[in-house]
């Protein structure tokens, strides 16, 4: 597909530009500076804050000077995941883009279309001299993926927008009109160590599908941290070994795809371990044949580890990971098929003093979120661990009356001659916080077709991006 011939060519141009700028959560300084310089070069009003949020304002075009101000909003950070065999430093290296037919993807890393497409569309709009539109406030927030710290820190006192277009949804033809709230928890479990005299091996769970912990949580995909703990527990019933280290997952809001443990044992037990590993792999493959077809268990020798967890603490850690709730907790009784509350055991890592677990809790009902928090806290306290909660954000509640929602439906029907879907989702969007900060806002979220976001298999449909861009332009044209 020839991108230069598309009406959305400028969108892809700016997506390519921002893909050159590393932008993990908490590292948005460079993209923030790029956005401010972009505005200065075009004589547009702009401001940035200490959290690296950026707001750029553009007056309405001729005939739209007195129309209601429209906010175009997206977040600048991206989830940074890669395949284990890929050498890529997300703090330094640009994303390597690959155009393949109708698909835009990266070279075995996350693409950053979540939410780089929104950023690119906003820049294309701000850059244009011939698009008809009302006054625009382009709002670029930071740290959405880590806990929405950016929007929490954003000063909205100078914003005049009454219409709010969030371009952070990932399925064309669906307008998001509500979402779950959420919070993240960090758990620290202290352990004691003892000297190790045996040879060491890396035991790992690989090849899982992973996915977005909100969007994909109800698809039955395996969690590598859970599978690894279960594997270690099963092996310990037949084989004497010690645990030196355990690591799994990269982000609390991504279903973990890989997990590894360093174990040490007398080599006379190695044949039995390999035999049991094959048996357990066969069981796992059967259980997850429809969701994680590439699942594999592997073992390889590594440098000898000097320290191991005590036997008591080995079981404490394995039991904690196995017993910790994970996945869907409740389904909505109001909307058929909608996940109401969930928790994702996203990251497990070994520290100098013990084990750290990071999980993401989501719920459309605040009391259910608080219940999960209380359950996890009681359990962690019972085993002598400590827990901290951060990044709390509210649910975006559905409103019966919405002018912008009705206008979106109208414009979509004009273009495609069919009804779009209206959907409340379990994933978290910044709309809930904006609605809380600016109660008079009329909000809607939409976006193009994106696939397997928060994983190295992330892909974006080029034609869908083009259609979404055309929809946005027609929508803005009618907001006068």
**DSSP letters spanning 219-286:** S----HHHHHHHHHHHHHTT---EEEEEEE-S-TTEE---EEEEEEE-GGGHHHHHHHHHHHHHHHHH
pLDDT in tens, 297-317: 999 999 999 999 999 999 999
Is there a single domain that holds both residue 210 and residue 236? yes
Helix (H, G, I), strand (E, B) or coil at 447: coil
Is there a single domain that holds both residue 387 and residue 273? yes
Is there a single domain that holds both residue 106 and residue 24? yes
Is there a single domain that holds both residue 288 and residue 225? yes
Calpha distance 426→423 (Å, rounded): 10
Is there a single domain that holds both residue 207 and residue 284? yes
Calpha distance 179→332 (Å, rounded): 12
Q: How far is CA 86 from CA 18, 81, 202, 343, 456, in A?
A: 21, 10, 19, 29, 10
Among 352, 378, 393, identify where a domain stops.
Answer: 393
Calpha distance 323→317 (Å, rounded): 10
Domain that holds residue 242: 183-393
DSSP state of 93: P
Please list, in sequence order, all residues whose beta carbon lies within 8 angstroms of the beta carbon of residue 311, skipping any fewer than 6 positions away: 242
Calpha distance 53→140 (Å, rounded): 6
Give me the residue label for tokens 């009618």: 478
Number of domains in the chain: 2
**DSSP letters spanning 41-59:** HTT-EEEE-TT--EEEEE-
Annotated catalytic residue within 77, 137, 170, 292: 77
Is there a single domain that holds both residue 254 and residue 361? yes
Among 404, 447, 16, 399, residue whose Cα is nearest residue 215: 447
DSSP state of 402: -
- Radius of gyration for the alpha carbons in the chain, expressed in angstroms and rounded: 24
Please list, in sequence order, all residues whose beta carbon lies within 8 angstroms of the beta carbon of residue 163, skipping any fewer than 6 positions away: 68, 69, 70, 71, 134, 403, 404, 441, 442, 479
| pLDDT (0 to 100) of residue 147 | 84
Is there a single domain that holds both residue 97 and residue 67? yes
Calpha distance 251→254 (Å, rounded): 5
The pair of three-digit structure tokens given for residue 92, joined into one six-digit string: 């330094």
Give me the residue label for tokens 């277009």: 165
**Residue 157 backbone dihedrals phi, psi, to 5 degrees:** -65, -25
Among 372, 393, 414, identify where a domain stops.
Answer: 393
Is there a single domain that holds both residue 366 and residue 416? no
Whether the Cβ atoms of residue 365 and residue 340 lie closer than 8 Å to each other: yes
Give, for 327, the enclosing helix (H) or strand (E).
Answer: strand 327-331
Calpha distance 131→200 (Å, rounded): 63
DSSP state of 129: S
Give, for 382, the enclosing helix (H) or strand (E).
Answer: helix 366-382
Annotated catalytic residue within 28, 144, 216, 313: 144
Q: Based on the residue annotation, tell me whether 77 is a catalytic residue of this protein.
A: yes
| pLDDT (0 to 100) of residue 397 | 87
Please list, in sequence order, all residues whose beta carbon lies within 8 angstroms of the beta carbon of residue 433, skipping any fewer than 6 positions away: 148, 151, 152, 393, 394
Beta bridge partners of 321: none
Helix (H, G, I), strand (E, B) or coil at 199: strand
Whether the Cβ atoms of residue 345 and residue 326 lie closer than 8 Å to each other: yes
Is there a single domain that holds both residue 229 and residue 242? yes
Whether the Cβ atoms of residue 468 and residue 175 lie closer than 8 Å to each other: no
Whether the Cβ atoms of residue 366 and residue 341 lie closer than 8 Å to each other: no
Among 359, 393, 427, identify where a domain stops.
Answer: 393
Please list, in sequence order, all residues whose beta carbon lies within 8 angstroms of the beta carbon of residue 367, skipping any fewer than 6 positions away: none
Measured in residues, the chain has a length of 480
pLDDT in tens, 148-169: 999 999 999 999 999 999 999 9
Q: In what order do the strands lie in the sheet with 442-445?
A: 45-48, 54-58, 136-141, 70-75, 163-166, 442-445, 174-179, 421-425
The enclosing domain of 406 has a CATH number of 3.40.630.10
Whether the Cβ atoms of residue 204 and residue 246 lie closer than 8 Å to each other: no
In tens digits, the chain (480 residues) has pLDDT values of 789 899 999 999 999 999 999 999 999 999 999 999 999 999 999 999 999 999 999 999 999 999 999 999 999 999 999 988 899 999 999 999 999 999 999 999 999 999 999 999 999 999 999 999 999 999 999 999 988 999 999 999 999 999 999 999 999 999 999 999 999 999 999 999 999 999 999 999 999 999 999 989 999 999 999 999 999 999 999 999 999 999 999 889 999 999 999 999 999 999 999 999 999 999 999 999 999 999 999 999 999 999 999 999 999 999 999 999 999 999 998 888 899 999 999 999 999 999 999 999 999 999 999 999 999 999 999 999 999 999 899 999 888 899 999 999 999 999 999 999 999 999 889 999 999 999 999 999 999 999 999 889 999 999 999 999 999 999 999 998
Is there a single domain that holds both residue 64 and residue 107? yes
Is there a single domain that holds both residue 323 and residue 368? yes
Calpha distance 328→363 (Å, rounded): 10
The enclosing domain of 238 has a CATH number of 3.30.70.360
Global confidence as pTM: 0.81
Q: Based on the residue annotation, tell me whether 168 is a catalytic residue of this protein.
A: no
Is there a single domain that holds both residue 208 and residue 226? yes
Among 86, 99, 112, residue whose Cα is nearest residue 25: 112
At how many degrees (to 10) do helices 9-19 and 462-477 cross? 120
pLDDT in tens, 234-289: 999 999 999 999 999 988 999 999 999 999 999 999 999 999 999 999 999 999 99
DSSP state of 164: E
Among 477, 446, 470, residue whose Cα is nearest residue 74: 446
């Amino acid at each position: 597909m020839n991108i230069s011939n598309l009406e959305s060519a400028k969108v892809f141009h700016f997506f390519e530009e921002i893909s050159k700028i590393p932008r993990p959560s908490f590292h948005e300084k460079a993209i923030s500076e790029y956005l401010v310089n972009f505005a200065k070069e075009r004589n547009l009003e702009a401001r940035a804050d200490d959290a690296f949020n950026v707001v750029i304002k553009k007056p309405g075009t001729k005939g739209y000077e007195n129309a209601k101000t429209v906010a175009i909003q997206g977040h600048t950070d991206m989830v940074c995941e890669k395949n284990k065999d890929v050498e890529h430093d997300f703090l330094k290296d640009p994303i390597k883009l690959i155009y393949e037919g109708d698909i835009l993807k990266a070279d075995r890393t996350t693409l950053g279309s979540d939410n780089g497409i929104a950023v690119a569309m906003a820049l294309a709009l701000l850059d244009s001299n011939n698009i008809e539109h009302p006054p625009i406030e382009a709002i670029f927030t930071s740290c959405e993926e880590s806990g929405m710290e950016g929007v929490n820190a954003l000063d909205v006192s100078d914003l005049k927008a009454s219409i709010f277009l969030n371009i952070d949804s990932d399925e064309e033809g669906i307008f998001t009109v509500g979402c779950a709230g959420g919070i993240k928890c960090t758990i620290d479990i202290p352990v004691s160590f003892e000297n190790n005299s045996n040879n060491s091996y890396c035991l790992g769970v690989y090849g899982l599908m992973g996915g977005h912990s909100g969007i994909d949580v109800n698809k039955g995909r395996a969690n590598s941290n859970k599978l690894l703990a279960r594997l270690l527990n099963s092996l310990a019933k037949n084989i004497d070994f010690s645990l030196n280290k355990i690591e799994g997952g990269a982000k609390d809001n991504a279903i973990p795809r890989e997990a590894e443990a360093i174990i040490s044992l007398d080599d006379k037990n190695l044949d039995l371990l390999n035999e049991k590993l094959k048996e357990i792999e066969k069981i796992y493959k059967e259980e997850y044949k429809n969701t994680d077809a590439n699942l594999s268990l592997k073992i390889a020798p590594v440098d000898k580890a000097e320290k191991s967890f005590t036997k008591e603490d080995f079981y404490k850690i394995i039991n904690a990971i196995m017993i910790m709730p994970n996945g869907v907790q409740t389904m909505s009784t109001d909307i058929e098929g909608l996940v109401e509350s969930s928790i994702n055991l996203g990251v497990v890592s070994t520290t100098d003093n013990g084990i750290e677990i990071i999980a993401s809790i989501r719920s459309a009902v605040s009391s259910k979120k608080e219940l999960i928090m209380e359950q996890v806290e009681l359990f962690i306290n019972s085993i002598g661990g400590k827990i901290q909660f951060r990044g709390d954000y509210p649910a975006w509640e559905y409103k019966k009356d919405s002018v912008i929602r009705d206008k979106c439906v109208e414009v979509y029907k004009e273009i495609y001659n069919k009804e779009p879907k209206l959907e409340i989702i379990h994933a978290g969007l910044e709309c809930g916080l904006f609605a809380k900060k600016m109660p008079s806002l009329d909000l809607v979220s939409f976006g193009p077709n994106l696939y397997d976001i928060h994983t190295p298999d992330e892909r974006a449909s080029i034609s869908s991006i083009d259609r979404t861009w055309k929809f946005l332009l027609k929508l803005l044209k009618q907001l006068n």
